[in-house]
Amino acid sequence: MLKKQLIMESAIELFAKKGIDATSVQQITEHCGISKGAFYLSFKSKDELIFSIIDYFTKNVTANIERSVSEQQNPHDKLAAYFMEIFNILQKYGDFATVFIKEQHFINETLIDKMAYYDELNNKLLLDILRELYPSNVDSLQYDLIIIIKGLIASYGDFIIKNSYPFDIEKLTDSLVEKIKIIAKYGEKSFFTKDMFKSYSSHQPMITKDLIVEELQQLLTHIQDEVLRESLQILEKQIQSESPSKAIILGMLSNLKNEQECDWFCYMMRKYYELNISNTPF
Amino acid sequence: MLKKQLIMESAIELFAKKGIDATSVQQITEHCGISKGAFYLSFKSKDELIFSIIDYFTKNVTANIERSVSEQQNPHDKLAAYFMEIFNILQKYGDFATVFIKEQHFINETLIDKMAYYDELNNKLLLDILRELYPSNVDSLQYDLIIIIKGLIASYGDFIIKNSYPFDIEKLTDSLVEKIKIIAKYGEKSFFTKDMFKSYSSHQPMITKDLIVEELQQLLTHIQDEVLRESLQILEKQIQSESPSKAIILGMLSNLKNEQECDWFCYMMRKYYELNISNTPF
DNA sequence: TATAATAGTGACTAATCGGTCACTTGTCAA
DNA sequence: TTGACAAGTGACCGATTAGTCACTATTATA
Are residues B64 and B10 part of one domain? no
What pLDDT band is residue B163 in, cutting at 50, 70 and 90?
A: confident
Are residues A155 and A33 part of one domain? no
Are residues B174 and B84 part of one domain? yes
Contact call for A105 and B22, based on CB within 8 A = yes
Task: Tell whether the model's pLDDT for residue B275 goes beyond 80.
Answer: no
Alpha-carbon span B229 to B255, nearest angstrom? 10
Q: Of A178, A201, A224, which residue sits at a domain end?
A: A201
Please indicate whether residue B157 or residue A165 has the higher confidence score (pLDDT). Answer: B157
Q: Are B12 and B100 in contact (CB under 8 A)?
A: no
Residue A152: per-residue pLDDT: 98
Task: Tell whether the model's pLDDT for residue B108 goes beyond 90.
Answer: no
Q: Which residues contact A167 (CB under 8 A, 6 or more apart)?
A: B196
Are residues A193 and A239 part of one domain? no
Residue A204: per-residue pLDDT: 67
Residue stretches of chain A with pLDDT short of 50: 277-282
Task: Answer whether residue B281 is part of any domain.
Answer: no
Alpha-carbon span B236 to B193, nearest angstrom? 40
What pLDDT band is residue B281 in, cutting at 50, 70 and 90?
A: very low
State chain B's mean pLDDT as an integer: 86
Residue A203: per-residue pLDDT: 67
Are residues A32 and A142 part of one domain? no
Q: Could you say which DSSP state residue B134 is in?
A: S
Angle between helices B46-70 and B109-133 (to 10 degrees): 10
Distance between the alpha carbon (CA) of B221 and the C1' atom of C13, Å? 47
Q: Could you say which DSSP state residue B260 is in?
A: G
Residue A247: per-residue pLDDT: 87
Contact call for A171 and B148, based on CB within 8 A = no
Alpha-carbon span A53 to A49, nearest angstrom? 6
Q: Of A150, A169, A201, which residue sits at a domain end?
A: A201
Alpha-carbon span B170 to B91, nearest angstrom? 13
Are residues A60 and A190 part of one domain? yes
Q: For B188-211, how does the pLDDT look when each residue is reduced to its tens digit (9 = 90+)?
A: 999 998 888 877 876 666 778 887
Are residues B63 and B173 part of one domain? yes
Are residues A21 and A127 part of one domain? no
Residue B34: per-residue pLDDT: 93
Cα–Cα separations (whole angstroms), residue A78 to A68, A132, A170, B137: 8, 10, 14, 30
Are residues A67 and A8 part of one domain? no
Task: Answer whether residue A240 is part of any domain.
Answer: yes
Please indicate whether residue B127 or residue B215 has the higher confidence score (pLDDT). Answer: B127
Task: Answer whether residue A14 is part of any domain.
Answer: yes
Residue B246: per-residue pLDDT: 87
Residue A276: per-residue pLDDT: 52
Residue A27: per-residue pLDDT: 95
Q: Could you say which DSSP state residue B261 is in?
A: G
Alpha-carbon span A25 to A84, nearest angstrom? 35
Inform me whether the C-beta atom of residue B116 falls under 8 Å from chain A C-beta atoms. no
Taking contacts as CB-CB distances below 8 angstroms, the residues of chain A near B189 are 171, 174-175, 178
Q: Of A201, A219, A253, which residue sits at a domain end?
A: A201
Alpha-carbon span A147 to B217, nearest angstrom? 46
Percent of the residues in chain B that have a pLDDT greater than 70, as a whole number:
91
Q: For A214-233, how does the pLDDT look when each residue is reduced to its tens digit (9 = 90+)?
A: 888 878 877 778 888 899 99
Are residues B237 and B116 part of one domain? no
Inform me whether the C-beta atom of residue A22 falls under 8 Å from chain B C-beta atoms. yes
Task: Tell whether the model's pLDDT for residue B131 goes beyond 60.
Answer: yes
| Cα of A224 vs its chain's centroid, Å | 24
Task: Tell whether the model's pLDDT for residue B223 goes beyond 90.
Answer: no
Residue B282: per-residue pLDDT: 33
Residue A280: per-residue pLDDT: 38
Nucleotide nearest to B21 in CA–C1' terms: C17
Q: Which residues contact A158 (CB under 8 A, 6 or more apart)?
A: none
SS (H, E, C) chain A: CHHHHHHHHHHHHHHHHHCCCCCCHHHHHHHCCCCHHHHHHHCCCHHHHHHHHHHHHHHHHHHHHHHHHHCCCCHHHHHHHHHHHHHHHHHHCHHHHHHHHHCCCCCCHHHHHHHHHHHHHHHHHHHHHHHHHCCCCCCCCHHHHHHHHHHHHHHHHHHHHHCCCCCCHHHHHHHHHHHHHHHHHHCCCCCCCHHHHHHHHCCCCCCCHHHHHHHHHHHHHHCCCHHHHHHHHHHHHHHHCCCCCHHHHHHHHHHHCCCHHHHHHHHHHHHHCCCCCCCCCC
Task: Tell whether the model's pLDDT for residue B94 goes beyond 90.
Answer: no
Are residues B127 and B259 part of one domain? no
* Structural domain span for residue B121: 51-201
